[in-house]
Each structure stands twice: as structure tokens, then as C-alpha cells.
Amino acid sequence: MIKTIASIGLPVDEVLEIKKNRLVPEGGEAEGLKRISIVTGIHGDELEGQYVCFEVVRRIQAEKGNLSGIVDIYPAMNPLGIDSITRGIPGFDLDMNRIFPGHKDGDMMEYLAGQVITDLTGSDVCIDIHASNIYLTEIPQVRINELHKDRLIPLAEKVNVDFIWVHGANTVLEATLAHSLNSQGTPTLVVEMGVGMRITLPYCLQLVDGIFNLMGELGIWQGETKKPRAPIISQNPEDVSYLNATMAGIFVPHVKHWEKLKTGDLVGVILDPLRGEVLDEIRSPIDGHLFTIREYPVVDAGSLIGRLLRERHPLPGEDRR
């Protein structure tokens, strides 16, 4: 059932609408059932979640008899951004993920944010799907604010990601959808994966398998599910090392995403295409796994090249003793 959860008039007789698709068991009775909400499209240039929403709906419709709870799908929280492939809300110079929880008596965007929070509140779990920007590629991961780690880590372990990154509290995060919902008692996982303006099909399918596994654990899905991979969990800020460009140029990687590196291994080079020179070599400062890698080749001094997870953890599937 398609439902408009928020609507507001725009200039020239246009209307901004945020919609969801509610899937309920055959017979239509939803009272007292567990509910999972899948949210994406807060940033209009992050498209990985579009395929995830499609595939979740497709699988449920193919086996509707196995649905025993409520699944709410929100594919476009920022429909204007999705339509124009714009990260923020076009015309407002505004990041939608910095205006939550909103307010029903606020300005136009605060009102919409408030309506979104009202509709999502009470979900047994919410999954907020993001991609990286056009500059970086991320492995499938869940990012958790340390304030909510005890409640969220057990849920995150079920969604089939490679990495769970518990990060420190940050005041800017207080205005995000996930922080607002978690603070109000609705457990919300933030998934980051892939790259901006693209769909990375293997990552999407990996997450979809994880969503169905979590739905099975919650009693929302009775069908067959796949065992999730065991994620690496990092709670120490010193686990993560950042690689940054030392000068402007063209970055060319020499390693693969999620590759295991040793200290001194060549990650990539920065080139000067005019003079045909290698300006700098980017080498790994630690033993670790490359979980973020530069996708967009043009860099300036200070541009993020990648992130490494220090070699304190085995990879998923390896001996964890």
C-alpha cells in the first residue's frame, strides 16, 4: 500500500511528497505486528538504497505468505534531491540529514522532517541506508554512535555487513535522522556502502540478504534466510588510520578495495599528467584493511585517499580466536 506521509506545496502548483510502501501479511491485518522501516534517499546523490528497496519489495511480493510483520519502505526521503541527483535539498542549500527531528510548527523543511520522525517512531528497527559521495567507495558497514552501541551492535551483527564502526559522539550528528530516532527509543542502524551516483549490485544484494536475516530474527519473515557474515567490530578510534593526499594531482590506486595491506605497501600514486611525473607515492602507514578507497581521481592537498582498519581483527570468515 502506497501512502503519502508528508506533503507540502511548492511554487508553480507543484507538490513535494514523501511516500512509503507498507507491506503487510496476507489478509491486511497489521495490529500488534513487529515493524521494520527501510529508509534511503536522504541524500539525493546516494542511490545504492534505491536498488535495496526494489529488491526487498520484489522478494516479499514473490513470497508474500512468508511475511509475518510490517515492512515499511521509504525510497526517497529527499525526492527533489533524487530527481536532480543533488546531495542536499535543491533550492534550499540544505542537508536534509541536519534538520531532524524537525517540528510541526517549523519552516517547510522542519515540518517535513517532523512528519518523517512521527511516521518512523515506533518501528522495532529502522535501517537508514546511505552511500558514500562520488569521491569515495565504502565497503558495506554499519556506523554506530557510541551512545547507542549496547542496543545497536547486536542488531548490526545480523545485517550481513563486513564492518561495524562505533564512533565517538559528535554534536553535528545530533541533527541526523538516526540520532533523533535512537534518542527517542527507535533503534536505527546507519548503513554506508558503495559510492555516490552509482549502484554497486553485489553490495546491495549483500545488504538485502542481511535485512531478511534481521527480519527473520524479529519474527517479521518466516522464509529462508542466509547466515550473515561475522563483521569486524571497531570501537577504538586508534583502529582507523586516514590516508590523505600531500599535493594536487591525479590519484591512481595500485590496490583493491578491502585489500589487506602491510606497513609500507603502495596504495597508489599521485601523477602530474602535464609533465608525465609521479608526484608522490601513497603508502600504508599501518598493517590493516583498506575499507575506504578514493574513487574520483582528481585530488587536492589534504583530499581523503582512503581509510585503513588496523590489523587487530581477523577478516569475516577467518578464525576469530
Give pLDDT tens digits for 222-275. 999 999 999 999 999 899 999 999 999 999 999 999 999 999 999 999 999 999
Distance (Å, whole) CA 112 – CA 25: 29
Provide the residue type at 208 as one letter. V
The pLDDT score that the predictor gives to residue 318 is: 47
CB 131 within 8 A of CB 51: no
CB 147 within 8 A of CB 169: yes
Q: What letter does residue 24 receive in the DSSP assignment? A: -
The pLDDT score that the predictor gives to residue 169 is: 67
Packed helices 201-218 and 48-62: angle between N→C axes, nearest 10 degrees: 50
CB 304 within 8 A of CB 246: no
pTM, rounded to two decimals: 0.94
Of 169-178, 210-219, 311-320, the poorest mean pLDDT is in: 311-320
pLDDT digits (tens, 9 = 90+) for 275-294: 999 999 999 999 999 999 99
Among left, alpha and beta (phi > 0; psi -120 to 50; other), residue 112 is alpha
Q: Is the pLDDT of residue 12 over 90?
A: no
N-terminal to C-terminal alpha carbon distance within the chain:
47
Distance (Å, whole) CA 206 – CA 223: 17
